[in-house]
Structure 1
Amino acid sequence: MMDIVYEPEPTLLKFHQSNKFFRGIRGPIGSGKSVGCVMEIYSRCLEMPPDARGRRRSRWAIIRNTNAQLRDTTLKTWREWIPDEVCRITMSPRITGRIDMPLADGTRLDVEVIFMAMDNLKAERDLLSLELTGVWFNEARELPLVFITAGLSRCGRFPRQSDVPRYWTGGIADTNSPDMHHWWFKRAVEHTPENWEFFDQPPALLLEDGHYYPNPVAENIRHHSKGFRYYLDMIDGADPDWIAVMVLCQYKSLFTGKPVYSPVWNDNFHASKTPLAVLPDQPLYLAFDFGLTPACVAGQLAANGQLRILREWCSEEMGIRQLVRDAILPDLARDFRNLRYIVTGDPAGTQRSQVDKDDSCFEELARNGLPGTPARTNDFEPRRRAVINRLTYLAAGEPGYLLDPRCTMLREGFLGGYQFELIQTLGDGGLQRYKEVPAKNMFSHIHDANQYLCLALQPETRAQSEAVQKNIARMQQLNRMRARNRTGLE
């Protein structure tokens, strides 16, 4: 057995000593969080009770948001601390690791590690099919809560309790600071579940009177060859928001990519300072994005052609059925009663697999009194152009798109949260390249819904959409008349 020398920092020591079902650690860049999680996995595997054959068996999933980050960062950290002679790595068909080695007490360590990137639907389905001992969510601020819930639901399934005595099982996570909309903040600061625990490392530097100073209680400094100079050099010329998140460890929005709607979004022009009134004589347009984290936007057209976005609904740990019944329908009954609803959404919502084997998302909406029609396309560029057309349109001297202040996720997405991810910076001139489609993050789902709404209200599609809605209404009325006739005959 190879000796692995690891001396945890004070906060990580508390992290290791906890036996909570879910444990999260937040800290500045370079504070040793990821290394601590690697060693937590390894130590938990060593502590696993042996089965009847003397094997200490574990199966872990290690999750990152994208395949590139999984390979370039997470896997690299794992191999630095758990070398290939201890854990044999296989790169295809997916990245897996295998530890099979004798221990000094005569037992044998038998561990399977599955590395997964949550950047496609297949990976999401694969996660829900696993039987795990534990799961590590690396850089958890990049992962929606639905993935955390899915991963934790697979823990405690391996090995079977009948094969070994009771053992610890659960999830661990590390992250740099997210913003205050994030599920991490809500659970770490506002309300922590009973069997969850969060640990905060001290900031690397302190800010006083506009100057940055070394924090005497900062962690992991001894492992940086330049000591505090590692951080002081890093912040020279850096954006203050980036420093606040990555070095000072503050909860704050950090947008590193290119905003999708820059420069056409004008916050002072497009964001209303006061709540927008409901127009009683105009229909309410509802647009949905489906998938694992569904979202909905509601808006009305004013007489001058202005699109007024009145509400947003973002899901957290709920599918389309629960979002509609628990959030949208109660709000409609309270704030938008007696209005006609015109519904559209992602064409993928016609697929039955998004709700269950019998129903599609659009069928689920219709069942709840919200019959709708799919958008004409889910291609990104037509959707983006539809929003840009609205943002650059003047409605009798007023903005063609006006956002209610209660729509905080849409607004923060416009301000930069909905962004094209930076790929690389080229040359001495600093030329930057970005991906051609926006990053999937906490702002992307509500902005997808917003795009479907704007797409439906483009001049060439609005009349068609209303005609379809009228046909649906006529069919529903005809079906009700037929039902009454059948009842009368009986």
Structure 2
Amino acid sequence: MVLGYNRESVPTIRRFMESDAFIRGLMGPFGSGKSSGCVWEIVLRGLRQAPGADGVRRSRWAVIRNSYRQLEDTTIRTVHQWFPPMRFGRWKPTEHSYVINRMVAEGDEKPAEIELLFRALDRPDQVGNLLSLELTGAWVNEAREVPWAIIEAVQGRVGRYPARRDGGATWSGVIMDTNPPDAESDWYRFFEEKDHGEAVAALAQVIPGMNVERFARIFRQPGGRGAAAENLDNLPPGYYQRLAVGKSDEWNKVYIDGDYGFVMEGRPVFGEYNDGFHCRDCRTVPALPVYRGWDFGLTPACVFTQMLPSGQWIVVDELVSDAMGIERFAEIVARHSAQHFPETSFVDIGDPAGMQKAQTDERTCFEILHARGIAIEPGMQTLAIRLESVRRPLRTLLDGAAPGFVLHPRCTTVRRALMGGYQYRRMQVSGERYTDRPEKNRWSHVMDALQYVATRLFGSELRGAGGAEADGMWRELPDDGRTRSSITGY
């Protein structure tokens, strides 16, 4: 423990600080100690920098925030709180620079020199402000507020100080902290979707023995209301519970529970979904059938799911398309299935509208699939049963701890849809009023496919032995005539 900061109390930050990844992101809720962890990361890296010929360990860091007001009100205050200038170094407010030069690494005689250059960069056209900097590393504070172009540009400025002739940087890279950003953001695409294997392979050729995690890695802190919440000892009792009062579910999801969110006007259809809890690696059991859900139209989609012996429903893969007919899409699904699910039997359930003939083709979607050997059957059409069939496993806990629904991270479209892309549209009236039906958008097709499988697995229980649907408990909302095409039936 140094100055009251105990890394052991925040295990995610400890792993973050021990990683050697060139680009690292630390994502978590309010009050979880992210900024403090980054401050200490800079100082500890500075004390580990190899000394120069004169025995001084020198490093230079850019500290980036979206505005000078934010820098002064939060970032600089956090740095000075841990390392007050009157005790640790020299602060130049007019230059927004701070040199920590009164700390001596163990075994050294001379203090290290850790230079911090505070810069406000909130527009892509400010990239020019970085071009002359020679840095060891950079910290982007609240990175989701900074354009990704800035983050990309700063990567080219690190590792340049000290100069190679003076021994070079012992470690260089970019560290970032943030509250969870939008699931449509560059941040999400970089850390959650991009395959960094090619970059790692290229670096391994020039840096023998390089750890596979050294290029990019993200660390996600537990939610503030969960059992594993971090930094609670440094927060008032009940901090997160009070913070949640009166906030929307989406706000709490991002700022308290630490999940990716959506900037949207609507309300998520499946608010029960928790990305940190439901999204995890999973794999199918070869002896069991894989349930494929289908949605048709000119944007067909297919999801691959399985019901495990434990009662857990897993979604392991997805295929989505744009401007594609069902015949071509069926060929893609068949090829994908043969490659990734060999010697697996399939149960196919699809949109009942696929049994309707289109005006431009005498064959139905079901007939086209049957001709390819895909014995598809219709799922339930009733919207209420479809939605509740997905909600049931989302709300289920197996053995008191395991989720009843698990989504593999590779299913990026389903994941974004569950996180809020699939939504009830907010009505343009006063107050909080939303449409009765989920909005037809880019996320609805794959979610419809998922729902048809869910009705096969859970729908019969919801209808009840007494024919609840006929009794009016589950009534299909009237079609307004705008959600189906007269040509495709979708």
Q: Normalization by structure 2: what TM-score?
A: 0.48
**Higher relative strand content:** 1
TM-score, scaled to structure 1: 0.48
